[in-house]
Amino acid sequence: MTKALEFTSAKEPEEVAARLLNGWNPRVYRLRPGPLRITRRFLQLGPGVSTQLTRLLTGGVRIDGQIGDGMLKIGFVRSKEIRILGSCEKNPFMAVACGGSRLNFSASLPGTALSLHFDREAAAGIVPAEALPLLTPAASGGGGPETLLHPVTDTGAKLEKLLRRLLARAERDGSAATPGEAAQVVETSAGLIAEILVERSTDVGEAAARARRRRSLALAVEALLWEAPQTIGRFSLDDAARRLKCSRRSIQLALQEEFGLGFVVLKRLIRLQQVHALLRVKPLGAAGVGRIARAHEFNHLGRFAGHYRDMFGVLPSLERAEEAVLL
């Protein structure tokens, strides 16, 4: 058994995805100006089983990902600044994601989450194949199965306490989990999943259905904002309401609840990152930057330059080209 303590600093969202997030394929982008810095405490508990404590130290981040096929992840969220999209649960709560499930969340300071990870073989011993449909509720409006959210039960609290104790000891003296402790984690996890399955066999209730509808609306608006401006044209809150056949208020409430941001702020953050991706591929002079900025709905170039510098730490005209992953 080995223990690895890792501190990760990343200025670009794709670095966060590549270095930090294991077992799933996420799209990551910024929700706040300035650099991102995330730390991870990681402990291998046994074959195919690991736990990690993740902290967001600077910045804000939006992660939209999908769990790897056959895997299982159990997360414990106690920070009000981490929002699992579609949640109808108040903090603290648990998140259970099986293979193929979408895991969507946004985080700002201070954001902390504890998670437990099972690979395909380890997960097969905890979640019976016939029980998977109960742990992968269908998303309203499509988009694949959702992450299951649940209040922290007594068994969940016991598992969380055990994981925190093992991580704290490993950080203190480098001790790895013993086979007995690893078996206890697996046994407690299996008990937790069994409890949730019993409860999931009954109606999940209107509150969860409302949360899924709200999440679906927020994700639809987000997807429209990420469309290339040359394809979608100028795009206002009124345009979004007409396109999605809902009210402006419904959109604002959904975005505020899911992201903690309004339409205008989220749109500006996304447009800035679209410009940033273009400039990292091909830097331009002031005239070229101005042309791209206006194409992305920034009409006041001075304000645009200020927002860009706040977000990325450099003026857009001084951006250096490098290989970029276009979001």
Which domains are delineated in the chain?
Answer: 3-202 (2.60.120.10), 209-318 (1.10.10.60)
Per-residue pLDDT of the chain (327 residues; tens, 9 = 90+): 444 455 555 667 777 776 655 556 677 788 887 777 888 888 999 999 999 888 888 778 888 777 888 888 898 887 666 666 655 455 677 888 887 777 777 777 667 789 999 998 999 888 877 777 777 765 544 456 677 777 888 999 999 999 999 999 988 888 888 999 999 999 999 999 988 887 766 555 566 667 778 888 998 999 899 987 877 678 899 999 999 999 999 999 999 888 888 999 999 999 998 888 888 887 677 678 888 888 888 888 888 989 888 888 888 888 776 543 433
**Mind listing the pLDDT tens digit for each residue in 270-327?**
999 888 888 888 767 767 888 888 888 888 888 898 988 888 888 888 877 654 343 3
DSSP string, 29-62: EESSSS-EEEEEEEEEEETTEEEEEEEEEES-EE
Structure tokens at 121: 């073989």
Cα 38 to Cα 163: distance, rounded to the nearest angstrom: 20
312-317: long-range contacts, CB 8 A cutoff, minimum separation 24: 312/272, 312/276, 313/11, 313/34, 313/35, 316/275, 316/279, 316/289, 317/284, 317/285, 317/286, 317/289
Measured on CA atoms in the order 307, 309, 313, 314, is the torsion positive or negative? positive
Paired residues of 247 in beta bridges: none
Which 8-state DSSP code applies to residue 174?
-
Closest by CA position to 228, among listed 281, 141, 297, 300? 297
φ, ψ of residue 265 in degrees (nearest 5)? -65, -45
